[in-house]
Chains A and B, each alone.
Chain A
Amino acid sequence: MSSPHEPQPDEAQPSFTTQLKEQLWDPVAGFGVTFRTMFRKVVTEEYPKVKKPTAPRFHGRHQLNRYPDGLEKCIGCELCAWACPADAIYVEGAQNTEDERYSPGERYGAVYQINYLRCILCGLCIEACPTRALTMTNFYELADDNREALIYEKSELLAPLLPGMEQPPHAMLLGEDEGDYYRGMFAPPPGDRAAAPTSTPETSSATPPAPRTARKAAR
């Protein structure tokens, strides 16, 4: 057994040149990295001032879409609510009548709520939706200071009325018959700048939601 103070062969004193390098050159090299970084581009995102756009298919806040005449696409089938793994969606369907028509078919979603404190923004509801009524926007600034404000109602989720759209309830305004209406075989409504008649204003990614102050006042 050797004593712990006895110098071991691999613990020998480093040579003079090694010592010189460690004490003089290494700090210079280290601070050189710091110095060089000053001339590099800054990676920090100036988030609240400069909002970098998300990926185009980012899963953000939902949106309930409309047909080009303003009727709602949602038919109140509750498939989104069934698909939801977090039980965040609540739908109550109701019957359309000839006097009071909200969507082209037989039924429409009378109550539509999404609880954003449960929603994990997975997009399974989007996959489940048979009419492409429910899509997602790229809007993500959702934080709020109470639970109730984060349950979004139908009025907040519905897409804004674009020019040429009319606030439902009203009859189906476009096309000769129902077939034409669903296939988009009609002239584009006046004021609609999208030339293609089949294109509907789905997923307008940059659309901000209704101002929160306004909806708080409406409660």
Chain B
Amino acid sequence: MGIEEKLPSGVLLTTVEGVAGYMRKASFWPATFGLACCAIEMMTSGGPRYDTGRFGMEVFRASPRQADLMIVAGRVSQKMAPVLRQIYDQMAEPKWVLAMGVCASSGGMFNNYAIVQGVDHVVPVDMYLPGCPPRPEMLIDAILKLHDQVQSTKFGANRAKQVAELETAALNAVPTSDQKGLMR
């Protein structure tokens, strides 16, 4: 059909997007952002029993400049929110955010004035992980789902087109005031 059939065996063709996605997903360096009990499970995931080193992310970076994934583990208080945003801003592109646990994802059972009702009020979140706290398997599952997302990230003109499509879809979606129940 194309150039693939004329190549000798043992030669693999791929796209720039594919290679870049593979490189990015295989070397996540998470920023240390443990805020509450979820951080204990996050630390366990980095330990020998669950060992996120299997996915190339055993180094939890204390400096946001060297990290490209922020695992927000725990409840974010109103006072912590600007700090969270600053850490996010200090991270180098490309960067992703994983809201670990119900408190980081939506405020969880702390529906009160002290807690930010989901870190997506402060930073864009790429993956929500429910659970209180989520077990390390759940965190690894969320990270693997994020890997799939990163692997399929598009570049350049394709990315711009994807962004435009997503925006159109969001504009055409049912407004929350018309939705029922918890969607409201």
Q: Which residues of A approach B to under 8 Å, CB–CB?
A: 43-48, 51, 85-88, 90, 92, 111, 113, 115-122, 140-148, 150-151
Complex Cα–Cα for A143 and B50 (A): 18
> Contact between B137 and A145 (Cβ–Cβ < 8 Å)?
no
Given A86-B109, A90-B182, A151-B183, verify A117-B128 contact (CB < 8 Å): yes
17 additional A-B residue pairs with CB within 8 Å, beyond A44-B51, A151-B181: A47-B140, A48-B141, A88-B182, A111-B180, A117-B108, A117-B130, A119-B130, A120-B109, A141-B138, A143-B138, A143-B145, A147-B105, A147-B118, A147-B128, A148-B183, A150-B105, A151-B183
- The 5 tightest CB contacts between A and B, nearest first, are A120-B132, A143-B142, A86-B109, A117-B106, A90-B181
| Contact A121 B131, beta carbon cutoff 8 Å | yes
Across the interface, B130 reaches (CB within 8 A) one of A46, A85, A148, A150, namely: A150
- List the A side residues contacting B137 at CB < 8 Å: 45, 47, 51, 140-141
A-B pair count, CB < 8 Å, reads 105
Residues in B with CB closer than 8 Å to A115 are: 106, 182
Which residue of A has the minimal Cβ distance to B125?
Answer: A145
* 9 A-B contacts (beta carbon < 8 Å): A47-B140, A47-B141, A86-B102, A113-B182, A115-B106, A118-B106, A119-B102, A141-B141, A142-B129
Whether the pair A92, B181 counts as a contact (CB closer than 8 A) is: yes
CA distance in complex: A111, B140 (Å) = 32
Dominant SS among interface residues on chain A:
loop
Task: Say whether, besides A45-B50, A48-B144, A113 and B183 are in contact (CB < 8 Å).
Answer: yes
Is B120's CB under 8 angstroms from A147's CB? Answer: yes
Complex Cα distance A91/B95, Å?
Answer: 38
Q: Chain B residues near A51 (CB, 8 Å)?
A: 137
B144: A residues at CB distance < 8 A: 48
A141 to B141, CA, bound (A): 6
